[in-house]
Chain A
Amino acid sequence: MKILVCISNVPDTTTKITFNSNNTEFNTSGVQFILNPYDELALARAIELTEGGNGNVTVVNVGLANTEPTIRKALAIGADDAIRINAAPANAYFVAQQIAKIAKEGQYELILTGRESIDYNGAQTGAMIAEIMDIPSISIIKKLTIDANTATVEREIEGGKEVITVDFPFLASVTEGVAEPKIPNMRGIMSARTKPLQVVEAIAVDTLSSISSFDLPAARSTVKLISTNESAKLIEALHSEAKVI
């Protein structure tokens, strides 16, 4: 099976977020970038599904040359090869158009993304790729098994889950539960340097949305402390002062 895993290069989860140029630009100075944690799960499941020479895992990223360490990390974890589409990822629709083109040309049977990226949290790219390609998409899945030509997935829904069957090709966006993240071993790290990483140019796409500015959350007022032997006062305060219960 040919699997395409879409990966995104995101600020480390400990990053303190600040902005430049009048709050119009994310300040990347001093920020460590990582492979998006949900994409790591997608990659881990793809590697499991192709174990024992049972297929091929390609990772694809839309990004400039500075994302290559993250792509090499994915190769070290176990992807077979990589494609970088050479453009800044302007918005989800732009990224989806780029990846849909690669995915069509490469005739992948399964396309995986993380449920969302932890920078812009759009959860858009996956379903957009599928719509452009006119194939099924299943969002937020926590289990994926394959039996001959049919896949069974578990989709998260409010307060439960749906068990869904689907034929190939399709796209799924994954969350926790689908696999455990894999840590690259020494052999993986060594071989990552020589695995193929193809760079392709981007296609032009209409701009349908753009971020005009960012804001930081307003600071909260200082905490009101209640002493342990007066715990009941907390419930009173929540009821009559904060009016939330």
Chain B
Amino acid sequence: MNVLVYIENITGKFKKSTYEVVSYAAAIAKQTGGTLTAVSIGNVEASTLAEIGKYGASKILNVQQDALSSFVNQAYASIISQAAKSVDASVVVLSNTFTGKGLAPRVAVKLAAGYVDGALELPTITGNSFSVKRGAFSGKAFANVTLNSAIKVITLSPNAYQINDLGTTATIEDFNPSTGAHDFQTMVKEIIRASDKISLPDAELVVSGGRGLKGPENWGMIEELASLLGAATGCSKPVSDSGWRPHEEHVGQTGIAVAPNLYIAIGISGAIQHLAGVSASKVIVVINKDPEAPFFKVADYGIVGDAFEVVPQLIEAVKVLKAQA
């Protein structure tokens, strides 16, 4: 089956999640004996585009128009579906990023395709039928979704699939889809980015703080530990509700569900709603002064102790480790 992958860029650069989704799509193309085409929208330099070839795309459709330099949901959805038709794709894959989540449902409707969002593994394929594993009940369970439609749309969870450099190369072609005024009804006025911050949803490492930290003035050590590790910062819901931290750091069932390699929870009790959002983490570390805190039940490593004593020691230890490296 031919596969199309949308390669999302942020100001002309690809993120790790884009390479992950190309590797994932390449594996599906291989499973089904098809070819993989990538489609890029916006202003990405040829040398950056060429990188995508290494991960198994044999062709890159490049759509470059000034009107498309910022994200316009309807236009992008229309272009991706036109690209899918032009390469006769039976499978369309996107990243399950904020943008991917907005786009994929529209693409699926346009192509009359069955859609699975947030895939965690490669599909199990039986004839024309795909079974895809995804999270459900906010991290408390997994659901296996069956797609029997002729075309299938899948978004891949960040951090769920390994990037594979296959050493292959791709050809780059200009692609000229037809779009009209109707596709441009939203207008991006401004983009505000905290450039020095690692974003939580696709972070590999997360340092998260709870009410046990007593107040926003105590987040200095959390930020220091995070920045030394190259981690994103997160928090529990009461922390963001009290305005100690911004809402976009709120982890859990009603916040962001994270799936990092390492989640360090400091002064967080481990309420069921919080645990739901972190259960996909590969390694969980808990620092809490209460040995009975429920978080210890799901932790891989734990320190029963006062965060104000333990965290400064961890900071020193990370500095020592970095000095050795």
Q: Return chain B residues, CB-CB under 8 Å to A224.
A: 300-302
Known: A176-B255, A244-B282. A212 touches B187 (CB 8 A): no
For residue B227, give the distance in angstroms from its CB to the closest CB of chain A.
Answer: 13
Task: Tell whether, in the assembled complex, residue A214 and residue B145 are in contact, meaning their CB atoms are under 8 Å apart.
Answer: no
Is A75 part of the binding interface, using a Cβ–Cβ cutoff of 8 Å? no
- Residues of A in contact (CB 8 Å), total 84
Task: Tell whether, in the assembled complex, residue B283 and residue A225 are in contact, meaning their CB atoms are under 8 Å apart.
Answer: no
Is B166 part of the binding interface, using a Cβ–Cβ cutoff of 8 Å? no
Looking across the interface, which residue of chain A has its beta carbon closest to that of B97? A158
The 0/1 profile, CB within 8 Å of A marked 1, for residues 237-279 of chain B is 0001000000110100111010001100000000011001001
Task: Tell whether, in the assembled complex, residue A211 and residue B145 are in contact, meaning their CB atoms are under 8 Å apart.
Answer: yes
Contact of B302 among A121, A152, A177, A226 (CB under 8 A): A226
Q: Return chain A residues, CB-CB under 8 Å to B199.
A: 158-159
Is A231 part of the binding interface, using a Cβ–Cβ cutoff of 8 Å? yes
Q: Return chain B residues, CB-CB under 8 Å to A163.
A: 188-192
Task: Tell whether, in the assembled complex, residue A160 and residue B285 are in contact, meaning their CB atoms are under 8 Å apart.
Answer: no
Contact of B318 among A93, A120, A210, A235 (CB under 8 A): A235
For the complex, give the distance between the alpha carbons of A238 and B257 in Å: 22
Is B125 part of the binding interface, using a Cβ–Cβ cutoff of 8 Å? no
Known: A165-B186, A208-B147. A239 touches B321 (CB 8 A): yes
Contact of A131 among B15, B106, B186, B276 (CB under 8 A): B106
Question: How many of chain B's residues touch chain A, expressed as a range?
Answer: 35 or more
Is A162 part of the binding interface, using a Cβ–Cβ cutoff of 8 Å? yes
Is B229 part of the binding interface, using a Cβ–Cβ cutoff of 8 Å? yes
Is B323 part of the binding interface, using a Cβ–Cβ cutoff of 8 Å? no
Task: Tell whether, in the assembled complex, residue B137 and residue A123 are in contact, meaning their CB atoms are under 8 Å apart.
Answer: no
The secondary structure that dominates the A interface is mixed
For the complex, give the distance between the alpha carbons of A112 and B187 in Å: 19
Task: Tell whether, in the assembled complex, residue B321 and residue A235 are in contact, meaning their CB atoms are under 8 Å apart.
Answer: yes
Contact of A221 among B187, B262, B300, B303 (CB under 8 A): B300
Which of the candidate stretches B46-54, B170-178, B211-219, B309-317 sits at the interface with the other chain? B309-317
Q: Return chain A residues, CB-CB under 8 Å to B103.
A: 127
Task: Tell whether, in the assembled complex, residue B186 and residue A223 are in contact, meaning their CB atoms are under 8 Å apart.
Answer: no
Looking across the interface, which residue of chain A has its beta carbon closest to that of B202? A158
The secondary structure that dominates the B interface is mixed
Is A170 part of the binding interface, using a Cβ–Cβ cutoff of 8 Å? yes
Task: Tell whether, in the assembled complex, residue A214 and residue B301 are in contact, meaning their CB atoms are under 8 Å apart.
Answer: no
Most chain A Cβ neighbours within 10 Å, of B70, B73, B109, B133: B109
Which of the candidate stretches B24-32, B34-42, B60-68, B111-119 sits at the interface with the other chain? B111-119
For the complex, give the distance between the alpha carbons of A149 and B204 in Å: 42
Q: Return chain A residues, CB-CB under 8 Å to B164.
A: none
Looking across the interface, which residue of chain B has its beta carbon closest to that of A232? B317
Task: Tell whether, in the assembled complex, residue B191 and residue A214 are in contact, meaning their CB atoms are under 8 Å apart.
Answer: no
Task: Tell whether, in the assembled complex, residue B138 and residue A118 are in contact, meaning their CB atoms are under 8 Å apart.
Answer: yes
Is B221 part of the binding interface, using a Cβ–Cβ cutoff of 8 Å? no
Q: Return chain A residues, CB-CB under 8 Å to B194.
A: 159-160
The residues in A between 208 and 245 inclusive whose CB is less than 8 angstroms from any CB of B are 208-217, 220-221, 223-228, 231-232, 234-239, 242, 244-245
For the complex, give the distance between the alpha carbons of A231 and B301 in Å: 11
Known: A136-B73, A138-B102, A162-B191. A228 touches B113 (CB 8 A): no
For the complex, give the distance between the alpha carbons of A161 and B321 in Å: 35
Known: A131-B109, A234-B301. A14 touches B272 (CB 8 A): yes
Task: Tell whether, in the assembled complex, residue A140 and residue B112 are in contact, meaning their CB atoms are under 8 Å apart.
Answer: no
The 0/1 profile, CB within 8 Å of A marked 1, for residues 74-114 of chain B is 10010000000000000000000111011111101110111
Task: Tell whether, in the assembled complex, residue A128 and residue B109 are in contact, meaning their CB atoms are under 8 Å apart.
Answer: yes
14 examples of A-B residue contacts, CB within 8 angstroms: A13-B276, A120-B143, A127-B104, A131-B105, A131-B106, A152-B189, A158-B199, A162-B191, A164-B187, A167-B185, A209-B115, A210-B146, A223-B301, A244-B283
Given contacts A127-B73, A160-B192, 17 further A-B contacts (CB under 8 A): A13-B273, A17-B140, A131-B106, A136-B185, A137-B102, A159-B198, A162-B188, A176-B254, A207-B148, A212-B145, A214-B142, A216-B141, A223-B297, A225-B303, A231-B313, A231-B314, A235-B321
Residues on B facing A (Cβ under 8 Å) = 10, 15, 70-71, 73-74, 77, 97-99, 101-106, 108-110, 112-118, 131, 133, 135-138, 140-149, 182, 185-195, 197-199, 201-202, 205, 229, 240, 247-248, 250, 253-255, 257, 261-262, 272-273, 276, 279, 282-286, 296-306, 309-310, 313-314, 316-318, 320-321
